Amino acid sequence: MSWLVVLALVALLALPLARSISRSNELFVVAFRGGRARLVRGRLPQRLLDDLDDVARSAPAAALRVIVTQEDGLARTRVEGPASPATAQQVRNVVGQYRVAQLRAGAPRRP
């Protein structure tokens, strides 16, 4: 029975490590709420945040999360939440205008 406790403790301690590894390639996270886009985590150019804010205003009822990660040297955009296909495509189009280097050079989150 004690090996189950040890296994549970190891799994519990490994969760933060697994989470940080999964976020290691994350560039930024933006939340859409109430017709506004807000930077949750990461950094991005202010112009991109302004463009995402325009998309958020066009879909004010949606509560979405936009997660942009780097995979194989390219930015990959994932939209979570009740997004229409048109809104998700608008988000991908806006983010797709930027190279990974431009996204990494963006300003950090403002307090």
Close Cβ partners of 91 (under 8 Å, ≥ 6 residues apart): 52, 55, 64, 66, 77, 79, 83
pLDDT confidence of residue 48? 94
What does the pLDDT look like over 31-83, one tens digit per residue? Answer: 999 889 999 999 999 999 999 999 999 887 778 999 999 988 899 999 999 88
In the block, tokens 């886009």 appear at 37
Alpha-carbon distance 16 to 83, whole Å?
Answer: 29
Our CA angle for 107, 109, 111, nearest 5°, is 130
What does the DSSP 8-state code read for residue 88?
H
